[in-house]
Amino acid sequence: MIAFGPVPSRRLGRSLGVNNIPDKVCTYACVYCQIGKTLRMEIKRRPFYEPELIFREVKEKVEEALARSERIDYITFVPDGEPTLDINLGKEAELLKSLEIPPAILTNSSLIWREDVREDLLKFDFVSLKVDAVSEPLWRRIDRPHKSLSLEKILEGMLEFRKEFKGKIVTETMLIDGIDYGNEFEKIAEFLRELKPDKAYIAVPTRPPAEPWVKPAKEDVINHAYQVFSEILGDERVEYLIGYEGNAFAFTGNVEEDLLSITSVHPMREDAVAEFLEKANADWSIVEKLLKEGKLIELEYNGKRFYMRRLKSRE
């Protein structure tokens, strides 16, 4: 199926998906990939589907959704492999623009060192780039790239792309357990400071990964990454993507639900929680109840206390 959805997405509102790469042709074999093992490792761009076929399938889905009065915020290339391997990507983005819904793309950034790939990506309104590591050994261990790829060229390509791109750019950094990150968070954050994304997302695997040993990073590691990123990039530009797409960060009037939805987006400091409860005419017993039920956890960082929603995968 080439077009699917629309589905709710925290980054993209209601997104209609485009699967322009067959299962699973990729430039990486990431240990955490939620589509499964890479069947064909490739870095040479080539055609996969006729651009007109992609356009027809998407147009049909858009018409069906609109007939049901469903909103579509973005048409998003989020395939079963790396979308920039598709040599017709730019042409497809141009065809889809006639539907008057902004096109978005989620890429692992591996081919952004190529000028033709950057040219194609400029045709999108929203681009999500993967930045799992900026140190070669860690990058090789987590993303398991095609052996001919160079991390240095990829990082340079991202900065080059940033100079020209006028749309919205976000980054995603996936954190997994059992990795010694050392001072990698500082290094990634320094690179992101130069890249200037609109948002830097910190993610964990939320579905079964390619390698059975892979588990989401522990909450204290995620919190550490968040604090380091926030310090360097500013609080408002850093968010979690830890698998709660629901009503994350929507005020519903239900204090428990609201507290859980906010802390699934970012950790809350003790004083911020107290202030939130006061506004909602509630007291600290709600926090104690959520801690006891194991829905919320308490973390220490730099001598301050933070609260974060417990990861589903660790329940």
Number of domains in the chain: 2
Quick one: 276 and 136 in the same domain?
no
User: Is 249 domain-assigned?
Assistant: no
Q: Tell me phi and psi for residue 271, to 5 degrees.
A: -65, -30
Mean pLDDT computed over every residue of the chain: 91
Quick one: 151 and 292 in the same domain?
no
CA dihedral 283, 227, 143, 178 (to 10 degrees): -70
Quick one: 300 and 209 in the same domain?
no
Report residue 157 CA to chain centroid gap: 19
Q: Is the dihedral of CA 236, 78, 130, 306 positive or negative?
A: positive
What is the chain's pLDDT, residue by residue, as a tens digit (315 residues)?
789 888 778 789 889 999 999 878 999 999 999 887 888 999 999 999 999 999 999 999 999 989 989 899 999 999 889 999 999 999 999 999 999 999 999 999 999 999 999 999 999 999 999 999 999 999 999 999 999 999 999 999 999 999 999 999 999 999 999 999 999 999 999 999 999 999 999 999 877 788 989 999 999 999 999 999 999 999 999 998 876 555 444 556 788 988 887 787 677 889 889 988 988 899 999 999 999 999 998 987 668 888 888 866 555
pLDDT of residue 24: 83
Quick one: 226 and 264 in the same domain?
no
75 vs 105: CA distance, rounded Å: 8
Q: Domain of residue 310: give its range.
A: 259-315
pLDDT of residue 34: 80
- Contacts within 8 Å (CB) and 24+ apart, 245-250: 245/8, 245/9, 245/10, 248/10
User: Is 29 domain-assigned?
Assistant: yes
C-alpha count within 13 angstroms, C-beta hemisphere, residue 167: 17
DSSP character at residue 217: P
User: Is 70 domain-assigned?
Assistant: yes
Quick one: 35 and 83 in the same domain?
yes
pLDDT of residue 249: 47
